[in-house]
Amino acid sequence: MIEPSGQACGARVTGVDLSGELSSDLIAEIRAAWLKHRVLAFANQSMDDDALERFTIAMGGFGEDPFFDPIEGHKHIAAILREADETSPLFAESWHSDWSFLPEPPSGTCLMAVEVPPVGGDTLFADQAAAFAALPDARKAELRRLTAIHSATRGYSPDGLYGDSDQGRSMAIRPSEDALKTQTHPLVKPHSETGEEVLFCSPSYVVGIEGMGEATAMQLVLELIEWQTRDEFVYRQQWEPDMLVMWDNRIVLHRATGGYEGHRRELHRTTIAPYTP
C-alpha cells in the first residue's frame, strides 16, 4: 500500500517485505512509485545489511561514496552515526544533493534505520522540480542559461567542516585533497528518467557560477536556496524503527535535523548508481 504524505512529495509504503525475494515486477512497481513520489518510506522492514545491499543492487547498483569509510564487512554501506554524548556539529545539516560534485552524481540514496531516537532526527526533503515549475517564465529562462560549479571543498577538504580539525565525531568520515576538485553541471538539469526540469543547486556544494563573480554567484545561490526550500516544496520525514527511506537524488534536496540530544542515532546508508537506460 502506498500512502502519499500530503506534503510536497514523499509516500509511506506498507505491506511489502524488502528482506525477501525482489522480483522484477516488485522492483518495477517500486521504481514507478519512487519516480512519482520522490521519497519512499518503507515501514516495518526486517532488513539486515545483506538485504540492504541486495535492494540497492536491484534499484540500480552501487554508487560512489568518496569520503566515507564503510562499515566492516560491507564495502558499500556507511554508518550515519551520532552517539548519545556527541557534541560535534550535526552531520549534513545544510541542504544538499548527495555528491553533486561528481561527474555523474548518484541517482538515489537509501537509509535503513538501525537505531532511531524517540524524538527528533527528522530528515527534510525539498522537491526541486516543483520549485523550478513555480518560477516565473522569465526567471526560468535566465536560470536555464547558467552552469554551476560544484565542489566538496567546504565539507570534506582537510580544511573543511569535516576536515582535520573536526574532533569527537563518531562517523567514519575520510577528508581528502580530492575534495578540492570541481565539476560543472547545468543549474537547471533534466531528470535522467522523467525529463522533468530540476533546480540542481545547493549551498553545500555549489561554489560558483561560470562567467559570474564569486560574490554575485554566492548571492544568487543564497537567493535560490530560500526559494528552493519554501514550505510548499518541503516534505518532513519522521523516522520509525525498522524503516527504510529511499530518495531520488536527482530531484530532491535534503538535510538532517537534530533535536535528539542524549540519544544515539544510527542509520545504514547505501548510494544508488547513476541511472543508465
What pLDDT band is residue 96 in, cutting at 50, 70 and 90?
A: very high
pLDDT at 67: 97
| CB of 4 closer than 8 Å to CB of 32 | no
- In angstroms, how far is the first alpha carbon of the chain from the final one? 27
What pLDDT band is residue 157 in, cutting at 50, 70 and 90?
A: very high
Q: What is the DSSP letter of 135?
A: S
198-218 residue pLDDT tens:
999 999 999 999 999 999 999
pLDDT at 219 over 90: yes
| CB of 98 closer than 8 Å to CB of 109 | yes
Give percent of the chain above pLDDT 90. Answer: 99
Cell numbers found for residue 210? 561560470
The mean pLDDT value for 220-234 works out to 98
pLDDT at 196 over 90: yes
The mean pLDDT value for 29-33 works out to 98
pLDDT at 265: 98
Calpha distance 91→155 (Å, rounded)? 10
pLDDT at 277: 85
The mean pLDDT value for 83-110 works out to 98
Task: Name which of 118, 78, 100, 67 is nearest 203 in CA terms.
Answer: 100
